[in-house]
Every structure is written in structure tokens, then in C-alpha cells.
Amino acid sequence: MSRNLDLSKVADVNVKDILELQRRINAFKSGKEDEERFKHYRLTRGVYGQRQFGVHMFRTKIPYGKLTAEQLIRLADVSEKYTNGNLHITTRQNIQMHYVKLADSPYVWKELAEVGVTAREACGNTVRNLTASANAGIDPDELFDVSPYVHATYEYFLRNPICQDMGRKIKPAFSSSDKDSAFTYFHDFGFIPRIKKEKGEEIRGFKLVIGGGLGAQSMVAQTAYEFIAEDQIIPFMEAAIRVFDRYGEREKRFKARMKFLVKKYGLEGFMELVEKERIAIKNKSVSIDRNLVPVPEPAPFKEAPTKEARNQSKFDLWLATNIYEQKQKGWYAVQVRVPLGDIQAETARKLAQLVKEYAADDIRLTVNQGLILKFVRKETLAHIFNVLDELGLAEPGFDTLADVTACPGTDTCALGVTNSTGLAGILEEVVREEYTHLINESNIKIKISGCMNACGQHMAAQIGFHGSSIKKRPLVIPAMQVVLGGGVAPNGEGFIAEKVIKLPTKMIPDGLRSILNDYETNGKEGEYFNDYYYRQGKRYFYDLLKPLADIEKLSPSDYFDWGQDHEYVQEIGVGECAGVALDMVGTIINDAKEKVKLSNLAIENKAWADSIYQSYAAMVIGAKALLLSADKKCNTHKGIINDFQTHYVNGNLIELSTDFPNLVLQINENEPTEGFAKRYHLQAADFFKKVIQIREAQLKGGDDKEVIGNYYKA
């Protein structure tokens, strides 16, 4: 690239990532790297293909949504310089920027890295962003602040060899209290604080749930431990991720999440596999520095220019719905509604300045696409409200019925079926104008996803919708699947919503009116919405909404999606969260070669456990390459290991000193010592040489085949 990439202000670990991304982009553009192989790589660097041709979404990885004012300003500056100037807050407490040119992505990363923001493992088959209750540290109900535990876990798994090439992603969450505001119940790993006393000593730990998930087949996480000590959360996660990497599905993308593995083996069987892995992990105990994320200092006292709100009635409602007193008495948290999670660069800069003057330098992104400002003085609230109101960020009803969550849908996402953002705006308007008395209703949430993949978390809503369509030949009608009864109950219990009925998307506002009107008419005094829903039953709501599903009564404009002025055309692209469709045996062998090199490099750095895992990966990948060259289907790591024994070892096509499973699975039979790391590396290097010899013999016979099918990097 002709532009100067000045990395003088970037930490060495990020320099390596940025230069590698630039090199791979150049290789891809010059035709030296296959498009699908490059796609797999760039995803783990936060660069995700967009619906619009030639541009990308750039996703940051912001653990537990913690940002400083300077980081927010830098994000705003970068968005103006390289994108359309918009920052999009996601339901995973990240910030995404859209319309980024591929060639600009190293420069985006470089400018963000200068202020401590990364994109490493923001997408792809990795441990994704670790989410947490945004009010952690100030939550009046918390036993202790989970922030240090989230940050320590984030640092431990970032760039960790065990989670770079998994079959699918892993999503952890930490809630600050039993109210489960971080939705641990639908995560791969979920942690809720616990304290017990032994011999008069207070011991911290967590309730640990595993195997939850949303999407087409949603599942509630199961309880692995009612109490696991704080020093054991990272060792458990490492052992469980190793199990997921070895036994998890890799071919069928829709079955490749940990929830299906837990279901397959049962909780007890899965936990037995985890225990077997514990011998191999490098840290049997990981102590967490409880001061790793210190309580932030409030901004120095500054007299607010005004103590009067310009719109008193709105201010009063804002105080009731968006403000609460922290566990630190006398200090207040300001919850900021960000419509659709979108905030323009100039607005973000002004917000950051407000934080510098009147709040602590610890902004938290929330799972409902908003923001929380901490340690605000009561006497400055009117001024803060006035400034936020000028910025369009003072709407009352934070995290209530009026605060609709929505993914970008067909605005930018290739997987989007219908427009979720346009509908979200309409539904907020319905609540704001027709159900003003429900703006403070915090036990009903509306969430919308543009497709069934649940980026808008619709299955975790009391009232949810996901994009779909209805055929009326020769046309296709944009539609939404209505789901009801999900979300977290007031007692903290999590529910997965039930599919009720599919309605044309233009009928959804009337559908919402029908549901709310019936709830107000037939709900018992003080009855929680989900109790009302389950009391009435799914069939009741199907019958209630069925008249709106009559497509014979649609007007011409009902064939348009929200925000469109033309008839709906369904355009569903291919998602980029996991698979690769085309690869070469030789390329896979090169992956194995790279793992052998990384294993040796780890030995040079005395990182014994890392070397061992790279050696393991080298052998599994090498075996996969030869199996694919013989037209043998590859799926799980465990399947590859067994199939290689059957086809190559038992078939006398390769000579080993022991059975292949015995060779490879030494990894979970030995402590990660220097001696074992060096011995295992030599065994992997020797195995790789034999793979090369076999492959060279195949090529001499004219066997230079392409491998067609879903390729999950083994």
C-alpha cells in the first residue's frame, strides 16, 4: 500500500496483527490467496463482509462494553475518516462501523489500537466479546464487581491457541446479580456471583451455567456448578473449550455450537470430558486481581451552568426511567437511550466531552444498545439532561417497553430477510404515542432480528419478532415471525420465547396493539406479562393475531418492506460467521506446516502449553488433509483422529510407532511440561514429514484435487 502505516504508537502485539492483516490483504488482492481462505482469516480480525458489494463491517472487541471518553472520541474520528460516520452499538456491547473499504481496515485497526481498542477475534470461530452487566461495579444488588473477572478472562483467551480455529464461536457472559441482566441463560458460559463463608472467611465464586444459546434452536443453559471458586472459572473454561474444539461439529454449521455438544453428551457426559482435559491445561488455578478494573474516580467537581431542565415533564419521566442511585450512595448512573444503537460521530464526541466534565471516565455500552454514565452528581442531572436532549439522547424509557432492540437487518447484513430497524422505529412510535403510561414498563421488552439468527435477541424478549416472508405467487410478502414469552423474569429466571404466528411485516404494529390491549384488558392486577402469556397459552395468541395474517386483505403498500417504496424482493446472502466453501488439500497442509512452526516458536518462548496445542493442531490438520485427499468426510477433531487410524494406519498407508489416537491424544494425558512439549513437538514434526511424503506421492499420481463442501478449519 502506498500510504504510510505509522505503528510507532501501537503496542507490539497489535503491530504484529496489523502487519499480518495488511500482508494478507495484499496477497488476496494480488491473487496469491484464495478468497474463501482470506475470508476465514479476516473474520477473526473483525472484518466482516457487508450486504453492499465492495465494503465491509468493521467490528471492535470491547470486553464488557467498557470505554473511556478518549476511546469514544477516537472511534468517532475513525468512523468519520473511514466510514459513513456512524457508530453502531450491538447487543454484545461492541461497536461496529459499516462501509469500510478492505484496504482501509489496517489503518482503522491501527488508529483504534493507539487508544487500546482491538478488533482481534471480534468475529469468526473464536471466543467472542465477553459481555457483562453494564452496571457492574455500581449495581446496588451485586455481591461484588464482576468487571475484573471479565477482563481477566478476556485477556486470557485473546490470541490463545486453543480458541483460534474452533468449529464455531463461543459467547460468555457475566451478570452482576441474580437478576441476570447479562442474560447468562442463553450463553455458552454464564457466570453469576456467589459468596460463601468457610471458617469465617469470605470466599468468592460464581454460579456457572453452560450450553445456552439463541438462534433457530434456542436452548436454556444448564447449571454446571452452583458454586465454582473464582480461581477456577478460567481453568474450567479452558478445559471446556478444548472439549468443544475436539468434539464439536465442524461441517454442519447449524449444529456447531456448544449447546448441541452439551445436548449430545448430556451435562454429566460433557462434564466428564471436561474433567479429563484438566490435566493438560497449563494453569490449574488462575487467581484474579480484584483491582484489575478499579472503581473509577468521579470527574472533578464542576458547577453546572444550569440547574433547570428545559422540558420539565420530559425531565421528570427521564429521571424516573433513566436514572438510578448507585450502590455508592449519593452518586447516580445515567442510562442513555441510543435509538437503534446508532450514534453519529459528532454526537459521540459531544457525549464524550459531557462525560469528561460531569461523570467518571468509564462509559459502559449496554446489551440493549445504549450507554451508562457513572458517578454523576445529583445537582448536575438537569444540565446533563439538557445536553443529552440537544443530542437526541434524552428519550425516557431506558430498557423498557419503549426501548426497542433491533439488529441492522437488511440495512447492511447479508443474512437479513426483512428490515428490522424501520419496524423498530415504528413500534417505538406506537408505544410513545399510544401507550404513554407503559413507557416505564421495564418487565416487557421488544426485540427484533432481521433473520432467525437472533442478533437482535428476539427469543429473549417478552415480545419478539424475526424476519421472514410469506409467498403469494408470484410475489413474496415481507413478514415477521411473532415470538412471545421470552426474557428474564423479575426473579431472574430466563425464558426462551415461543413461536406463535407469522404476520406480514406491515401488520406488526397492529399485532403489537392487539397484544398490549389484550394484556391490559385480560391481565390480572400486577400480573407479569409472561405469566399472563403462559396462563392464556400459545393458541390463545395465535387466534388473537390470526385475523392480521389474512394476506387477501393486504393493500398494495403492504407488499413493501419498512423503508422501501417498491415491492419486496427477498435477497438473502451467505453469512460469514463460520464456514468456508472451497479449499485445496495443499492449502490445508500449509496450515499444518504453520502449526508446526508455531509449536516450535512457543518452545523458544518457553510457552509449553501453547506449543503442545499447536502440535496437536498440526497433527489433526495434517490428518484431515490426507483424509480429504482420499474423499473421506471430515467433521469433528475426534472423528478425524479415528478415521485417520481406520483409513491410513490400519490400511498400512502410513507407518507410525503407535496408533494415531494414542499419538495425538497424549495431549490430555500429560501435564504441560517442558519435556512433554518438546517430545510432542518432535512427534508432530515427524508426522508432518510423513504427511508431506504421502501427499507428494499422490501428486506424482496426478491427484491435485479440490475439496468441495463446507470447510471448517480443523
DSSP for 502-531, please give it: EEEGGGHHHHHHHHHHHHHHHSPTT--HHH
Other CB atoms closer than 10 Å to residue 199's CB: what's the count? 5
Contact 536, 500 (CB under 8 A): no
CA–CA separation, 172 and 195 (whole Å): 21
Contact 478, 505 (CB under 8 A): yes
Cell numbers given for 463: 415480545
CA–CA separation, 586 and 598 (whole Å): 19
Q: From residue 544, how far is each of 333, 501, 511, 518, 612 by CA, in Å?
A: 40, 10, 9, 9, 60
| 3-state per-residue secondary structure call for 222-247 | EEEEEEEEHHHHHHHHHHHHHHHHHH
Closest CA to 645 of 658, 629, 631: 658
| Backbone region of residue 519 per phi and psi (left: phi > 0; alpha: psi in -120 to 50; beta: other values) | alpha
Contact 247, 263 (CB under 8 A): no
Contact 73, 349 (CB under 8 A): yes
Cell numbers given for 458: 428476539
| Residues of the chain predicted below pLDDT 70 | 1-2, 414, 565-584, 702-714
Single-letter amino acid, residue 594: E
Q: Is 593 exposed, middle or buried (0-12, 13-18, 19+ CB in 10 A)?
A: middle
Q: What is the dihedral of CA 529, 534, 536, 539, to 10 degrees?
A: 120
CA–CA separation, 165 and 693 (whole Å): 25
Q: What is the pLDDT of residues 385-401, one digit of tens each?
A: 999 999 999 999 999 99
Closest CA to 149 of 140, 136, 138: 136
Cell numbers given for 239: 478445559
CA–CA separation, 538 and 598 (whole Å): 55
Phi, psi of 541 (to 5 degrees): -75, -30
Task: Tell me 671's DSSP state.
Answer: -
pLDDT on residue 311: 97
Cβ density class 604-620: b for 16+ within 10 Å, e for less: eeebbbbbbbbbbbbbb
Q: From residue 347, how far is each of 59, 63, 187, 312 by CA, in Å?
A: 20, 23, 33, 23
CA torsion sign for 194, 211, 170, 129 is: negative
Closest CA to 464 of 482, 452, 450: 482
Contact 617, 594 (CB under 8 A): no
Q: Which domains are seen in the chain, by residue range? A: 1-132 (3.90.480.20), 312-390 (3.30.70.3340), 405-559 (3.30.413.10), 580-711 (1.20.120.330)
Q: Is 276 exposed, middle or buried (0-12, 13-18, 19+ CB in 10 A)?
A: middle
pLDDT on residue 557: 85
Closest CA to 613 of 213, 280, 253, 128: 280
Phi, psi of 30 (to 5 degrees): -90, 0
CA–CA separation, 211 and 638 (whole Å): 20
Helix (H/G/I), strand (E/B), else coil: 470: strand
Query: Which residue carries 389474512 as its cell?
Result: 550
Q: At what angle do helices 12-29 and 35-43 cross, to 10 degrees?
A: 160
Task: Tell me 364's DSSP state.
Answer: E
pLDDT on residue 580: 34
Other CB atoms closer than 10 Å to residue 160's CB: what's the count? 17
Beta strands in 549-640 (DSSP E): 580-584
446-449/463-472 β-pairing:
parallel
Query: Which residue carries 409472561 as its cell?
Result: 530
Alpha helix (H) residue ranges in 363-473: 381-390, 420-434
Looking from the CA of 506 toward its CB, the CA atoms found within 13 Å total: 20
Cβ density class 494-520: b for 16+ within 10 Å, e for less: bbbbbebbbbbbbbbbebbebbbebbe
3-state helix, strand, coil in the chain (%, to 5): 45, 20, 40
Looking from the CA of 376 toward its CB, the CA atoms found within 13 Å total: 26
pLDDT on residue 703: 55
CA–CA separation, 139 and 570 (whole Å): 44
pLDDT on residue 133: 98
CA–CA separation, 121 and 45 (whole Å): 6
Beta strands in 258-370 (DSSP E): 323-325, 331-336, 342-344, 363-365
Q: For the chain, state the CA radius of gyration.
A: 26
CA–CA separation, 210 and 65 (whole Å): 22
Phi, psi of 438 (to 5 degrees): -105, 5
Q: What is the pLDDT of residues 322-345, one digit of tens each?
A: 999 999 999 999 999 999 999 999
DSSP lists the bridge partners of residue 95 as 89
Residues 6 or more apart whose CB falls under 8 angstroms from that of 404 comprise 424, 427, 428, 431, 446, 447, 448
Q: Is 116 exposed, middle or buried (0-12, 13-18, 19+ CB in 10 A)?
A: middle
Give this prediction's pTM: 0.92
Contact 423, 467 (CB under 8 A): no
pLDDT on residue 556: 86
Cell numbers given for 71: 476511546
Cell numbers given for 422: 424501520
